[in-house]
Structure 1
Amino acid sequence: MADRIILHSDLNCFYASVEVNENPKLRDQAIAVCGSTEERHGIVLTASYPAKRRGVKTGMANWQALRACPGLICVPPHYDLYVKYSRLVRNIYLRYTDKMEPYGMDECWLDVSGSRQLHGDGTAIAEEIRKAVRDELGLTVSIGVSFNKIFAKLGSDMKKPDAVTTLPRDDWKGRIWPLPVSELLYVGPATTRKLMSRNILTIGDLAKTPPELLHDWFGKNGIVLWRFANGEDNSRVMQNDYEAPIKSVGHGITCSCDLRDNESVWRVMLELSQDIGHRLRVYGLAAMGVRLAVRSNDLSGSQYQTQLSYPSQSPMEIAQAARTLFLTRYSWNMPVRSLTVTGINLVPSDQPTQLDMFGDEQRRMRRQKLEDCVDEIRNRFGKRAIFSAALMGELNMPDDGRHEVTMPGMMYS
């Protein structure tokens, strides 16, 4: 049986490349797409290659980047453009396969095994895609080609920008095993430190470590990493229209200034909950619980959660549960920097529920009808067409579209 042909496509310096596309005067300049210092997001989101060569790195504070690269051009992010270009690139991928699994906005796995008769082997397909993205959209992409998802992703990181790297089954150990263990997907900084403390420095070292030891150190994740290092990843590339089961629905924000009183916190919670209630309705789900994450301005964080009496899609009920958690659990030792509200323990919204003989079910149903109506109005005319009076005025919440950006999550198996 022939090996699968898996591609991992990674758009180079994505945000910066889009900005250059939209403003050609920036071409060949040292630029960085930076969050707003005033709105508490003053870090480098991505940098162009000229800036990277002068020491600018993703995650740097703006002032650090300017110190490393005097004359650096700082550009604010335009998330609507990034979403647009991401969709255009994926339309190119779909010419070759419908097995396309996004990993964030700028990365995708593609299973092109069924396309070899039409377009040739994996390297030929990758070259076609690379040229199409460059010629049609003005962006560059690095593509890894291999027989599984893990090695395809490793390949896309090996040569940048605008390149194709192939790691076939008969040649992967000599090229992959010498790599630092931190290059392997899901080996983050904490895991790297633990492995290095046991003298496991390379992917090859990890592959040769007895799996039972890795299980003792890291649980089942240790076995997963061992299989990855030994080329035994058999996870599928999911269909383009695949939707993973929804386990929670949340919304969080880093506020544009510290929140210093309960009223300011309540208004942010209520605004966040509007989005949660809407998405629960779209998904046909209801929350049986609420989780609240609070981060203080010293960057320390805490999480609290509670159960609801009824499955709920109500923004008000979700926000009130979050407020109760905050008032009873947060000590106000420090001002609040960011909040995340999440509906958890989800159930189908049409699932029958046991009524509470001491509750006012009629009042609750009236509120539900009202909120259904409000959600419909917001759907048709925009989220500011109708809203609670408590949400009038400045909420200290940035509204630049960053919530539309999909960050990398977990690879589907």
Structure 2
Amino acid sequence: MDRTIIHCDMNGFYASVELLERPDLKNVPMAVSGSPDNRHGIILAKNELAKRCGVVTAETIWSAKKKCPQLQLVRPHHDKYKKYSQLINQIYDRFTDMVEPFSIDESWLDVTGSLQLFGSGTAIADQIRTTVKEELGLTLSAGVSYNKIFAKMGSEYKKPDATTLISRDNYKELLWPMDVSDMFFVGTATADKLRRSGIATIGDLATANLSVLQGLLGKQGGLLYDYANGLDESPVAYAYEKQKIKSVGNGTTFRRNLESAADIQTALKALSDTVSSRLRAYGMKAGGVKVDIKDPYFKTISRQRQLESATNITEEIYTAAYSLLKASWQLGKPIRLLTVTGINLTDEDEAEQLSLFARNVQDRQKSSDLDKAMDTIRSKFGGQAITYGGILKNDLGIHWIEENEEEE
């Protein structure tokens, strides 16, 4: 028997949450954006009126304003988005315990075992849409199918506030005429490569020679062939199954370009502070550190290294990040954006063998104690209650960086 899977995707999530408290903006084009003052000048979300004006997510504020001069901008409030994401997923839990969040505003639900209680997959999706609208004042689009890929594509098929069923009987009719770029997991570069090979639609992808696809795209070619043909058996995780965190990172665009060593040290210390704090909150340690650097011309490089000992200590993550940057970037060359990421994560209490070259155990303990003391103060008085002296009164727009506002 086929599974019944629903993919729920909130409509303009950030913008919709903001409109709950700003009904005065409901009938005008509006968007949630980063701060133009700090050069976080991209659109994070938009309402339907802004969408009709051609405003798209991740474009610059300047470009959006050019398309839509009357566009009203609202600063993001990530704490509210997290709160509503939790409330939404609690509604999903009423229909099944097999809920797998895909992002803050998207989740897959396997409702195969709930059909006798609530009706067909389409009926359940409609009940969920109605419940979310009545209880939270938000709308979502849902895709219903026999696998996760088609359910995801179904939620994109018709928006806003709609349910689309993609079945074994209709998927060729609905999906195959679509542009190949609309296939889930097909990015811009892959779509261009496929088009140059004469594969312009999802139907072309589904009926292409498999060996040709694999020669063109490697393993990905075989996966995309399967997905276009509805061959996907990947499971939906249980709601209470611990999600394995693969990395913890944070990045920001600065108020001005970083040019001096002092600028870079200030930025990396602030980013390392938030990454290490989040690692400790998750009970994790990083076995490696990755640094992404973007210049004013949007050229990006990424470098990473394995650490001698897994850590969630700010000083050690900062030292590794700064060492990476110095080895791969010419000091004095301007930097627009930096991201620091802890990778190769392990549980905090997992036993480890310290390297002979690792920092003195007493020194590590002192640093760890300092970090935990700062965590305690921040939990009581807020993220900006305490920070490192070198970060104070900088002109880079850096304080306690709680959210990743990295440009796409």
CA RMSD of the aligned region, Å?
2.6
- 1:399 offset after TM fit, Å? 6.2
- 1:398 offset after TM fit, Å? 5.5
- Mapping for residues 5-404 of structure 1, pairs under 5 Å: 5-332=4-331, 334-349=333-348, 350-354=350-354, 356=356, 360-394=360-394, 396-397=396-397, 403=403
In 2 relative to 1, CA 289–126 (structure 1 residues): closer, same or farther, beyond 3 Å? closer
- 1:147 offset after TM fit, Å? 0.7
Any idea what the Cα deviations from partners look like across 1:285-327, whole Å, max 9, x if unmatched?
Answer: 4334322221112211222233433333221111112222223
- The amino acid of 2:26's aligned partner reads R
- 1:238 offset after TM fit, Å? 1.0
Which whole-Å CA distance do the structure 2 matches of 1:394 and 1:40 have between them?
A: 16
- 1:355 offset after TM fit, Å? 5.1
List alignment gaps of at least 5 residues for structure 2.
none
- The amino acid of 2:69's aligned partner reads P
- 1:97 offset after TM fit, Å? 1.0
Under a length normalisation based on structure 2, what TM-score does the superposition of the two structures give?
0.91
Which whole-Å CA distance do the structure 1 matches of 2:104 and 2:270 have between them?
A: 25
Please say if residues 103 and 407 of structure 1, whose CA atoms lie closer than 8 Å, have aligned partners that are also in contact: no
Which whole-Å CA distance do the structure 1 matches of 2:361 and 2:257 have between them?
A: 38
* Paired residue secondary structure (1:40): coil
Under a length normalisation based on structure 1, what TM-score does the superposition of the two structures give?
0.90
Which whole-Å CA distance do the structure 2 matches of 1:405 and 1:236 have between them?
A: 31
- 1:149 offset after TM fit, Å? 1.0
In 2 relative to 1, CA 48–250 (structure 1 residues): closer, same or farther, beyond 3 Å? closer
Any idea what the Cα deviations from partners look like across 1:73-120, whole Å, max 9, x if unmatched?
Answer: 222222222222222222221111121111222211111111111110
Q: Name the % identity.
A: 42
May I ask how many residue pairs the two structures share in their alignment? 407
Which whole-Å CA distance do the structure 2 matches of 1:345 and 1:55 have between them?
A: 40
- 1:377 offset after TM fit, Å? 4.2
- 1:358 offset after TM fit, Å? 9.4
Please say if residues 79 and 401 of structure 1, whose CA atoms lie closer than 8 Å, have aligned partners that are also in contact: no
List alignment gaps of at least 5 residues for structure 1.
409-413
In 2 relative to 1, CA 25–398 (structure 1 residues): closer, same or farther, beyond 3 Å? farther
- The amino acid of 1:298's aligned partner reads Y
Which whole-Å CA distance do the structure 2 matches of 1:300 and 1:215 have between them?
A: 29
Please say if residues 142 and 164 of structure 1, whose CA atoms lie closer than 8 Å, have aligned partners that are also in contact: yes
Please say if residues 30 and 72 of structure 2, whose CA atoms lie closer than 8 Å, have aligned partners that are also in contact: yes
- 1:233 offset after TM fit, Å? 0.8
In 2 relative to 1, CA 48–284 (structure 1 residues): closer, same or farther, beyond 3 Å? closer
Which whole-Å CA distance do the structure 1 matches of 2:149 and 2:13 have between them?
A: 21
* Paired residue secondary structure (2:87): helix
Which whole-Å CA distance do the structure 1 matches of 2:2 and 2:342 have between them?
A: 42
- 1:401 offset after TM fit, Å? 7.6
* Paired residue secondary structure (1:255): strand
Which whole-Å CA distance do the structure 2 matches of 1:280 and 1:53 have between them?
A: 41
In 2 relative to 1, CA 358–131 (structure 1 residues): closer, same or farther, beyond 3 Å? closer
Please say if residues 11 and 106 of structure 1, whose CA atoms lie closer than 8 Å, have aligned partners that are also in contact: yes
* Paired residue secondary structure (2:342): strand
* Paired residue secondary structure (2:45): strand
- 1:58 offset after TM fit, Å? 2.1
In 2 relative to 1, CA 294–95 (structure 1 residues): closer, same or farther, beyond 3 Å? same
In 2 relative to 1, CA 175–354 (structure 1 residues): closer, same or farther, beyond 3 Å? closer
- The amino acid of 1:46's aligned partner reads A
Please say if residues 314 and 371 of structure 1, whose CA atoms lie closer than 8 Å, have aligned partners that are also in contact: yes
Please say if residues 268 and 318 of structure 2, whose CA atoms lie closer than 8 Å, have aligned partners that are also in contact: yes
- The amino acid of 1:281's aligned partner reads R
* Paired residue secondary structure (2:353): coil
- The amino acid of 2:331's aligned partner reads W
Which whole-Å CA distance do the structure 2 matches of 1:243 and 1:405 have between them?
A: 26
Please say if residues 104 and 407 of structure 1, whose CA atoms lie closer than 8 Å, have aligned partners that are also in contact: no
Q: Which moved more, 1:381-390 or 1:7-16?
A: 381-390
Please say if residues 154 and 166 of structure 2, whose CA atoms lie closer than 8 Å, have aligned partners that are also in contact: yes
Please say if residues 33 and 45 of structure 1, whose CA atoms lie closer than 8 Å, have aligned partners that are also in contact: yes
Please say if residues 264 and 395 of structure 1, whose CA atoms lie closer than 8 Å, have aligned partners that are also in contact: no
Which whole-Å CA distance do the structure 2 matches of 1:155 and 1:358 have between them?
A: 51
Which whole-Å CA distance do the structure 2 matches of 1:7 and 1:237 have between them?
A: 10
Which whole-Å CA distance do the structure 2 matches of 1:358 and 1:194 have between them?
A: 46
* Paired residue secondary structure (2:20): helix
Any idea what the Cα deviations from partners look like across 1:126-166, whole Å, max 9, x if unmatched?
Answer: 11111112222222211111111111111111211111111
Please say if residues 292 and 303 of structure 1, whose CA atoms lie closer than 8 Å, have aligned partners that are also in contact: yes
In 2 relative to 1, CA 371–164 (structure 1 residues): closer, same or farther, beyond 3 Å? closer
Any idea what the Cα deviations from partners look like across 1:202-229, whole Å, max 9, x if unmatched?
Answer: 1111111122221111111111111100
- The amino acid of 1:344's aligned partner reads I
Which whole-Å CA distance do the structure 1 matches of 2:154 and 2:358 have between them?
A: 62
- 1:348 offset after TM fit, Å? 4.5
In 2 relative to 1, CA 127–193 (structure 1 residues): closer, same or farther, beyond 3 Å? same
- The amino acid of 1:195's aligned partner reads L
* Paired residue secondary structure (1:74): strand
